[in-house]
Structure 1
């Protein structure tokens, strides 16, 4: 038994790092980096309280230093490949590693995150005018990759983005720190007859793995309908991947191009020039049993707000609507 408060506090898990004001991108991400911090701080305080109450004996928090991913502290991952994907967007593959005495050793073990969950990247620019930045990204890789201690993230780079500048200057074999996973989404196979995915821009990235999981499951009888809005065909993310999903019997997609549809040649997608409006969705949901429909929404703050309002007007039960 531990004899003092100091002894017990030595067993406390590391306190989560508080984001700076500039770490928030202002795009209405859900959850925001401050939402993540608030939740993790609450969990940390609860774990510490249990350790105090039980005189240092508690399984409330896993303090195993060998854990590849932790929601409370950052772990090192090595950048092992960069693949150009679309205009100003690349797929980055990271490998779990241990760093001992300056030596980097790769680890091939299951990372343990689920579809729909995201990880948080931290830049390494401490002590500079850029400061420490964090951003959330959703892995798009399959479970086989995760079993090898790797994950892929699709990241769009912005010309004036602080985190984009950090990522743009990464080199192969560089070490980047991640923590997670975060997100409470859990998909239950065959619970719904229809899954509607309403997304805009980079919002397609967390929904794509869910769609892929559904269509690749031979026991699934769920229909997936993707409604995807982007500015230009050249900026469309996961274009080839969505086209492959359309080869499955239970997946269809409708792509809305808001500015330029001229570059759509060479593909067989169903393009619509314009925005996703209330009338569009009324048509899409017509005749569907709304109590048996799951709606997943991910986009900008304004897009999410509009889609949520449209769903409420149509009459989709609020418990069947999830905003990422």
Structure 2
């Protein structure tokens, strides 16, 4: 998610892969952190103010925060979820509808400089927590953490974050060789993060185990 102020309200943008089963959000760094409007124990309703279809399976949804001064209050790497089936909610929603959401949820904890490097394996909607972490690190000039991202998607059209120019990089499934080439090698001061469809997460775990990454070096959103 991204926060986009307007003269009348702040908008909360969500890039959602409709076939996905999770929802994560980008994190906006504040020098002063006012209390967020989310509640981890009950659902809070947000109004859909803009829906943009990006591809047959992907759309961007922007929700208004309750007041012009409200902040979402979603920590890096945490997520929130709607009541009921998410894909059904988003397929049926129209501008002006309200979505009940609960959060923040998640066990990922981030502190600047907690590791020397993050390797990131993202598939489809799984780019969201990676983007949140990347943004938080890049917006903090004191955080020198190195970042290595492999992002896989069915097609360029389905990507939430598209390359600025024509793609001439790798294609196909993420392999052990790709991980060896583009991610930091196993070490106590690195961590490999993964987020994607269940089958991808299972395959990535097998690759990482085979390459010598211990459980302490891995985290799945």
**Would the TM-score normalized by the shorter structure come out above 0.5?**
yes
Q: Which of the residues 108, 114, 123 maps onto 2:69?
A: 108
Counterpart pick for 1:282 among 180, 198, 217:
180
Q: Which runs of structure 1 show a deviation greater than 6 angstroms over 4 or more consecutive aligned residues? A: 26-30
Cα distance in 1 between the residues matched to 2:70 and 2:201: 36
Q: Counterpart of 2:170 in 1: which secondary structure? A: strand
User: Which structure carries more relative contact order (alpha carbon 8 Å, separation 6+)?
Assistant: 2
CA distance in 1, matches of 2:128, 2:189: 24
Question: Aligned-pair distance for 1:289?
Answer: 5.5
Give the Cα separation in 1 of the matches to 2:21 and 2:74. Answer: 23
Match of 2:206 among 278, 298, 309: 309
Structure 1 counterpart of 2:128: 205
**1:251 maps to what in 2?**
none
Structure in which a larger fraction of residues adopt helix: 1
Aligned position for 1:126: none
Listed one character per residue, the Cα deviations across residues 68-121 of structure 1 (whole Å, up to 9, x for unaligned) are 322222112111222344453222122244xxxxxxxx4632332201111111
Structure 1: runs of 5 or more not aligned: 1-25, 31-66, 98-105, 123-132, 136-160, 244-266
Aligned to 1:228: 151
**Alpha carbons of 1:236 and 1:27: their partners in 2 closer, same or farther (altered >3 Å)?**
closer
Tell me if the contact between 1:76 and 1:96 (Cα under 8 Å) persists in the aligned partners. Answer: no
- Is 2:50 aligned against 1:81? yes
How far off its partner does 1:270 sit? 5.1
Q: Deviations over 1:15-45 (max 9, x none)?
A: xxxxxxxxxxx98869xxxxxxxxxxxxxxx
Indicate the structure (1 or 2) with the bigger Cα radius of gyration: 1
- Seen in structure 2, the aligned counterparts of structure 1 residues 238 and 109 have a Cα distance that, compared at 3 Å, is same
Q: Is the partner of 1:113 in helix, strand or coil? A: coil
Contact kept? 1:29, 1:301, Cα under 8 Å: no
CA distance in 2, matches of 1:27, 1:83: 17
Cα distance in 2, alignment partners of residues 119 and 318 from structure 1: 25
Is the 8 Å Cα contact of residues 83 and 92 (structure 1) preserved in structure 2?
Answer: yes
* Alpha-carbon RMSD: 2.8
Q: 1:200 to 1:317 in 2, by over 3 A?
A: same
User: How many residues align structurally?
Assistant: 193
Within 2, Cα distance between the matches of 1:89 and 1:96?
22
